[in-house]
C-alpha cells in the first residue's frame, strides 16, 4: 500500500513561515525551495515529498488528491469553498485581515456599489449578508488603483500593516474576516493513508501549540 505523502506548499510569503514549521515537525527539503527552479522536492523523509505551486491552486491539488495535504491561507480556502478536503490545523502563520477599503472622506453611493477584488466569492457573500447590491470587478493585482481611477467605489483585499492603503490615500473600512494559514487534508487520503496522515497532522499540531 502506498504510504508516500505529498504536501502542497504555496509560493511566496506563506512559504517563508511554513518551512521552519515543517522543519520543527521533522520534515526538511533537500533543496532550497526559494532558489531552485524545481517544482517537486524530496525531503529528509523518504515517505514525504513537497510540491511548490501558486497559493490559489493549493486547495485544488488537495481536493483532487494530487497532494495529500497542503498549506493554504484562509482567504484562498474561503474563496475555493473547501470541497473534498478537511481544514485540520490553524497554523497561526501569515496573519492578516480581509477588509473593505476606500476613501475615508468620500461617501459611498446609496445604490449599487462597485467593488474591485480578487476574492469575488467572499465579497459576494459578505455583501449578500448585508442585503447590499454590488457589481463585482475581478482584478488580479494593484487593487488600490481601482478607487483612485474610478474603476470601483471600494476594494476588498488582504490588509497586513495598512501601509500600502495609506500610501495610496485609502483607509480600511469594514472587517470581513481574520486570515491565517491552515493545514488542509484530502478526504480520501485521510481514509486510505490514515496512520501516516494522522501522524503528520499530530506532529504539526504539536509544533503549532
pLDDT digits (tens, 9 = 90+) for 52-79: 999 999 999 999 999 999 999 999 999 9
Phi and psi torsions of 202, nearest 5°:
-60, -45
SS3 label, residue 44: coil
CATH number assigned to the domain comprising residue 85: 3.40.190.10
Percentage of the chain modeled with pLDDT above 90: 87
Predicted pLDDT at 152: 97
Shared domain check, 171 and 110: yes
Predicted pLDDT at 82: 82
Shared domain check, 100 and 47: no
Shared domain check, 109 and 86: no
Residue 25 contacts residue 207 (beta carbons within 8 Å): yes
- pLDDT tens across 9-25, in order? 999 889 999 999 999 99
Shared domain check, 56 and 44: yes
**Share in percent of the chain as helix, strand, coil (round to 5):** 35, 30, 35
Structural domain containing residue 141: 96-178
Residue 189 contacts residue 125 (beta carbons within 8 Å): no
Shared domain check, 101 and 88: no
Half-sphere exposure of residue 21, counting CA atoms within 13 Å on the CB side? 25
Shared domain check, 185 and 157: no
Q: What is the total count of domains within the chain?
A: 2
Shared domain check, 122 and 76: no
Predicted pLDDT at 84: 87
Q: Chain-wide mean pLDDT for the chain?
A: 94
pTM above 0.85, yes or no: yes
Shared domain check, 152 and 122: yes
pLDDT at 115 over 90: yes
Amino acid at each position: 500500500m502506498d504510504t508516500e505523502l505529498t504536501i502542497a506548499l504555496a509560493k511566496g510569503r506563506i512559504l517563508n513561515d511554513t518551512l521552519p514549521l515543517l522543519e520543527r515537525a521533522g520534515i526538511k527539503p533537500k533543496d532550497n525551495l526559494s532558489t531552485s527552479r524545481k517544482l517537486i522536492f524530496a525531503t529528509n523523509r523518504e515517505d514525504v515529498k513537497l510540491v511548490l505551486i501558486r497559493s490559489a491552486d493549493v486547495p485544488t491539488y488537495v481536493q483532487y488528491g494530487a497532494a495529500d495535504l497542503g498549506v493554504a491561507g484562509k482567504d484562498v480556502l474561503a474563496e475555493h469553498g473547501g470541497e473534498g478536503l478537511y481544514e485540520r490545523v490553524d497554523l497561526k502563520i501569515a496573519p492578516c485581515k480581509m477588509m473593505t477599503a476606500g476613501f475615508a472622506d468620500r461617501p459611498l453611493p446609496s445604490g449599487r456599489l462597485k467593488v474591485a477584488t480578487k476574492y469575488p466569492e467572499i465579497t459576494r457573500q459578505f455583501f449578500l449578508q448585508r442585503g447590499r447590491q454590488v457589481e463585482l470587478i475581478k482584478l488580479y493585482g494593484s487593487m488600490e488603483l481601482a478607487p483612485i481611477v474610478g474603476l470601483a467605489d471600494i476594494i476588498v483585499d488582504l490588509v497586513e500593516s495598512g501601509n500600502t492603503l495609506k500610501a495610496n490615500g485609502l483607509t480600511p473600512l469594514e472587517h470581513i474576516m481574520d486570515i491565517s494559514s491552515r493545514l488542509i487534508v484530502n478526504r480520501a487520503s485521510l481514509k486510505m493513508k490514515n496512520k501516516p496522515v494522522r501522524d503528520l497532522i499530530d506532529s504539526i499540531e504539536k509544533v503549532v501549540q
